[in-house]
Structure 1
Amino acid sequence: MQAEVPLLTFVIPCLNESRTLSSVIADCYEGGRACGCPFEVIVADNGSTDGSQEIAQSAGAHVVDVPIRGYGAALLAGIRAAKGTYILMGDADSTYEFAQAGQFLGKLQQGYDLVMGNRFKGRIAPGAMPLLHRHLGNPVLSALGRLFFGIKIGDFHCGLRGFNRDAILALNLHCSGMEFASEMVIKSSLMDLRTAEIPTNLWPNPPGRIPHLKTWRDGWRHLKFMLSFSPKFSFLPFTGLLLLMALALLFSFGLGLPPFSGPSTLVFAFSCLVACIGIVSDYLSTREMLYSEYPMRRSGISQRVDSLLGLNRGTDRIFKIAGISAFMSSAGFVALLVFWLQGSLSSRMSSLVTFVTCASLLLSISAYLTAAKISTYRNLHPKSSNANVIKAHVELDK
């Protein structure tokens, strides 16, 4: 390892890994030398009691003591302590090959922000991955990640990954447990960071080692994080389907087509409309919080949403939608009063007017609350430029 400022930092979270740590650090040195660039090795120790810290220091690694327990907490501390422009992280149990550092660094220098290893495209040695993880847990969670977030990654939870330090710090990652792995990938997708994959191998744990990963507990934590943090894709595509279904039911009721001529048709149509408006409102509020808080390269869909709703110029257009909808609902109530005076409140046309009136009132309230929440958030969290956010992170960590 050279004395100049490193280009690459190896970050290894560690908790009682005395049997394998020295060989893992040696593997990092092999990978670093092969890259032909200045590098450093950081071991983020999470409270080891088996001499792992001393082993790491004697092997030439810089040890960062992390008092907060957890995989994510250890990695965050190691990333913040790193001096390299690029980071390659991996476990301390000798299951990954840090000698692949050159492949990861090459992709990062091409402009990718996050480079994931893919164990399914490489080799998974016999006994290296439990069958439950290999055929159920990892494939299902990876598929949900691709569905919810549009992430084109085949191995969502590979522990060997390289990334641009400043880009990842700017995501403001905070999960302290195993779900940190999901948080990094998900936020990278939401912020439109460039990602790539590299085939990597996975080797078995050394005999007698008890894995830190708890299948059901950590699997649930990953799933819960995905379900609660998916404003970009999860339910949004269904809004179009819900809206079409509501309009089709309303049209069928208006024509008196059986079996859609009864009041239950309007109830179901209105339920679809409520769900549609609720999902869009939640999407806009969550998206505003995400895209105002973290720097990103704006994607086409984000720009189109801003342009359509006028969010790039404030929230006036959404407030106007609320006002127009409120006027329509008021006019609807007047029309219903006329139907009542004429004794035709039970007619089919009256039912349709009632539907439109209630839908307008719902849209008015929802649009107003959405615009109000976005305006309040913008006032409390003024947007910063990407450069200023990243600079603040770097200066803080120094």
Structure 2
Amino acid sequence: MTPKEIEVSVIIPTLNEEETIGICIEKVKRVFEKYNINGEIIVSDSSNDNTPIIARSMGAIVVTPDRRGYGYAYRYAFRYAKGKYIVIGDGDDTYDFSEIPKLLEPLIRGEADLVIGSRFKGRIEKGAMPLHHRYIGNPLLTFFLNLFFKAGISDAHSGFRAIRRDVLEKLELKSDGMEFASEMIVEACRKNLKIKEVPINYYRRKNPTSKLRSFQDGWRHMKFMLLNTPDFLFIYPGITIFLVGIILMLSAFFKIFIGYLPGAHSIIAGSLLITTGYQVTFFGSFAKLKAGKTLPKFLTLEKGATLGMITFLSGVVYALILITRWIDSNFEHLPAIEESILAFTLIALGLQTYFSAFMLSMIAERT
């Protein structure tokens, strides 16, 4: 191996970590020395204290991102990394950089493309993680990430990770904020990469003031996941709403007992749910196309527009029949409310289908 070949790049984002950055760098250097690793330490710094001065004095490469953000600090630093393996971890000494070999081992053995240090499989020091993070926030967000993307992990928001450089270059990472942690896993799942967790220790911050904003950062993670899963955001809820509406409308129209005997109010609610659920499902189709996915071949503009027009005309014809009956009764007997709502629902569904078919076609042609 030539002197210029770097095996491991350790990237540490910092924002005023002068109390702990020296400890982190010293631990990394000890690992390099103990395991004879030719490595580099890159500090991606946005501090206004002595953090960058300390880091440079200890031999780290200090880069200064042109804007702030947890995710952006990493993305900015990645362009400077030369190592075959890249390790990332916070500069507040909550993660123990002495455990770097545990992260690298699965990569070196070819057992994984991305390794995550799991705090929940390891040991969390008392007071290191707020109770609402430990028992509500992290588990809940990890649950949804596993549900949406089948990641199969226990700690989606661990900031102590290792990844092969060639794999990192395949990930389309764009996030600037804390949702970067979720984005990395989502991208790894999309690329069918092998993800492995190893147990790690997690320690209390030396500086008790955390930079995390629980609700804001939690929402950023959740928003990112929802925006990247049209099925769970639109299609599954849309289909569910649509089916509930169908049940309500049909049971009211045919006087079917469903725990109670539905009437006019139920058929109104059913109509609203049907049209809402139907449109939400179309939103999911729009989102899938925008994300570069393809729809089934049978969903063509011609078939969609034709189906929409048939449904629309069926509603119009039915409405005309009801109007004719009303006229024949010398305007004395209005049509049953159930029949009128059914006609208007068919008209609305027909129009939705017709125009949505054109919208799908427009999006498909531009993606």
Please classify the TM superposition score into its range, dividing by the shorter chain length.
0.7 to 0.9
Structural mapping, 1:63-74, within 5 Å = 63-74=62-73
Name the structure 1 match of 2:21.
21
- Tell which deviates more after alignment, 128-137 or 106-115: 106-115
Aligned length: 357
CA distance, structure 2, for counterparts of residue 135 and residue 318 of structure 1: 48
Paired with 1:289 and 1:235, the residues of 2 have a C-alpha distance of: 14
Residues 335-370 of structure 1 deviation map (CA, whole Å, 9 limit, x = unaligned):
432342243871555654443333222222233323
1:334 Cα offset (Å): 2.8
Q: Quote how far apart the aligned CAs of 1:158 are.
A: 0.9
- Alignment partners' CA distance in 1, 2:167 and 2:272: 42
In structure 2, the gaps of 5 or more residues are 329-333
Q: How does 1:180-329 map to 2 (within 5 A)?
A: 180-190=180-190, 192-206=192-206, 208=207, 210-258=209-257, 259-290=260-291, 292=292, 306=294, 309-310=296-297, 317-329=300-312
Task: Report the Cα distance in structure 1 between the residues aligned to 2:256 and 2:224, rounded to whole angstroms.
Answer: 44
- Equivalent positions of 1:14-53 (< 5 A) are 14-32=14-32, 38-50=38-50, 52-53=51-52
Conservation of the 8 A alpha-carbon contact between 2:235 and 2:282: no
Residue 88 (str. 1) matches residue 87 (str. 2): yes
Q: In the alignment, is the contact (CA less than 8 A) between 2:148 and 2:229 conserved in 1? A: yes
In structure 2, how many angstroms separate the alpha carbons of the residues matched to 1:173 and 1:183? 7
Q: Partners in 2 of 1:74 and 1:268 — Cα distance?
A: 50
SS at match of 2:63: strand
Contact preservation (8 Å) 1:277, 1:366: no
CA 65–279 in structure 1, closer or farther in 2 if over 3 Å, else same: same
* Aligned mates of 2:275, 2:36 — CA distance in 1: 59
Give the conservation status (yes or no) of the 8 Å contact 1:150–1:233.
Answer: no
**Unmatched 5+ residue regions in structure 1?**
293-301, 379-398
Alignment match, 1:388: none
Deviation at 1:2, TM superposition (A): 6.9
1:81 counterpart SS class: coil
Tell me which residue corresponds to 1:54: 53
Contact 2:10 2:40 survives alignment (8 Å): yes
Of 173-182 and 86-95, deviating more is 173-182
How far, CA to CA, are the matches of 1:77 and 1:200 in structure 2?
26
Partners of 2:13 and 2:89 within 8 A in 1: yes
Using the size of structure 2 for normalisation, the TM-score is 0.83
Give the root-mean-square deviation of aligned CA atoms: 3.1
Using the TM superposition, name which of 216-225 and 97-106 deviates more: 216-225
Do the aligned partners of residues 257 and 213 (structure 1) sit closer, same or farther apart at CA in structure 2, a change above 3 Å counting? closer
Q: CA deviation at 1:88?
A: 1.1
SS in 1 for 2:94: coil
Structure 2 SS opposite 1:213: coil
Partner Cα separation in structure 1 for residue 88 and residue 34 of structure 2: 17
CA, structure 1 residues 33+230, in 2 after alignment: closer, same or farther (shift >3 Å)? farther
Whole-Å separation in 2 of the counterparts to 1:121 and 1:4: 37
Q: 1:279 to 1:147 in 2, by over 3 A?
A: farther
Give the whole-Å Cα distance in 1 for the aligned partners of 2:230 and 2:11: 31
- The answer on whether the counterparts of 1:35 and 1:101 sit within 8 Å (CA) in structure 2 is no
| Secondary structure class of the residue paired with 2:13 | strand
Q: Percent identity?
A: 31
